[in-house]
């Protein structure tokens, strides 16, 4: 059986000379790159134009982790518009070379739980904002609360209208990246804390598919080494349930194949820390999750008591 690559053209960062997503030249530079890649590798059909646009904008413009390392709504808004334009125009650049290209656009699969009456309004806003990157590049009209927020923070009506005119949802799969950290509690002061799995992927995937109206894919998930096998089985079970329910779900992925490095700090520190999240470690030795994932691939998933347990 052959391997079909899915090419990821932008994964969180920008060239050193452009520095940040506040730079207006990011879009044209990226579009030229996307076209050049498609011309050089015309046999590639499957693309993730920009990985996790909402996460990219949030971590760069609001949380201060990457790129511009800013902490304000205006920087977040500009970063979001920039990466969403990269998706739209990068897709067009690829299609100019490969008109039958298919696009798997992933983003964080989130939910916000208010834990106090004073947090309900902010949680409702965040539960609308979580769809914003998808809705921009799909060309969907933003809900009023999200549009008003972006307009207050530097977007123009022409900006938002451009996406409605040029966005597209054909030949596109919405990838859901779901982790235990994707569900958060909202506190009265607006701060967030991780809640762990409460609704779970089964419920959230249905929300995203109903909202976006395109096929979905479980694009990323993983769990810490001690719980990884259990987490894998539960996420795979949710995927099967969705398929049985008739939800158009197209695939499932454990991320990543190899253990990560420094994701314990979201890449903010270069410590060489090996995060035990992959199917193999950095020496390519199988982790406990390997056998369970292989069993899924072989369609012979054994019972939990037969699976190897993490040490």
What are residue 221's DSSP bridge partners? Answer: none
> Residue 131, class by beta-carbon neighbours within 10 Å (0-12 exposed, 13-18 middle, 19+ buried)?
buried
Question: Smallest Cα–Cα separation from 263: which of 50, 2, 55, 38?
Answer: 55
Give tens-digit pLDDT for 115-138.
999 999 999 999 999 999 999 999
pLDDT level of residue 224 (50, 70, 90 thresholds): confident
Q: Which among 279, 284, 271 is positioned nearest to 308, based on CA atoms?
A: 279
Half-sphere exposure of 39 (CA within 13 A, CB side): 10
The pLDDT tens digits for 261-304 are 998 898 999 999 999 999 999 999 999 899 999 988 886 444 44
Q: Are 133 and 57 in contact (CB under 8 A)?
A: yes
Global pTM? 0.93
Cis amide prior to 256 (ω within 30 degrees): yes
Average pLDDT in the 237-265 region? 95
Q: What is the pLDDT of residues 152-209, one digit of tens each?
A: 999 999 999 999 999 999 999 999 999 999 999 999 999 999 999 999 999 999 999 9
Residue-level pLDDT at 307: 41
**Edge-to-edge strand ranges of the sheet holding 102-108:** 6-10, 46-50, 102-108, 172-177, 216-220, 249-252
Residues 6+ away with beta carbon under 8 Å from 4:
45, 46
Of 52, 84, 257, residue with least CA distance to 163:
84
Beta strands in 14-163 (DSSP E): 46-50, 102-108, 111-114
* Rounded distance between C-alpha atoms, residue 215 and residue 196, angstroms: 26
């Amino acid at each position: 059986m052959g391997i079909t690559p899915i090419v990821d053209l932008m994964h969180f960062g920008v060239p050193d000379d452009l520095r940040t997503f506040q730079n207006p030249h990011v879009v044209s530079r990226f579009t030229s790159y996307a076209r050049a890649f498609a011309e050089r590798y015309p046999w590639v059909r499957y693309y993730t134009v920009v990985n996790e646009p909402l996460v990219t904008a949030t971590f760069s413009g609001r949380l201060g982790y990457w790129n511009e390392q800013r902490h304000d709504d205006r920087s977040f808004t500009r970063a979001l518009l920039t990466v969403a334009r990269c998706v739209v125009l990068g897709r067009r650049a690829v299609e100019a070379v490969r008109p039958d290209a298919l696009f798997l656009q992933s983003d964080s699969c989130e939910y916000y739980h208010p834990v106090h009456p004073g947090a309900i309004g902010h949680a409702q806003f965040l539960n609308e904002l979580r769809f914003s990157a998808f809705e921009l590049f799909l060309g969907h009209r933003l809900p009023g609360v999200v549009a008003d927020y972006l307009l207050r923070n530097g977007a123009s009506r022409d900006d938002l209208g451009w996406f409605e005119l040029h966005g597209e949802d054909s030949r596109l799969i919405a990838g859901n990246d779901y982790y235990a950290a994707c569900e958060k509690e909202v506190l009265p002061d607006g701060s967030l804390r991780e809640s762990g799995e409460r609704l779970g992927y089964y419920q959230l995937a249905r929300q995203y598919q109903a909202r976006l109206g395109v096929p979905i894919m479980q694009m990323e998930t993983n769990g810490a080494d001690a719980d990884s096998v259990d987490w894998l089985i539960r996420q795979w079970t949710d995927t099967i349930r969705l398929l049985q329910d008739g939800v158009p779900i197209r695939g499932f992925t454990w991320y990543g194949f190899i253990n990560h490095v420094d994701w314990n700090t979201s890449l903010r520190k270069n410590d060489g820390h090996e995060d035990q999240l992959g199917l193999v470690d950095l020496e390519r030795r199988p982790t406990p999750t390997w056998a369970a994932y292989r069993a899924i691939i072989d369609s012979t998933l054994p019972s939990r008591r037969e699976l190897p347990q993490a040490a």
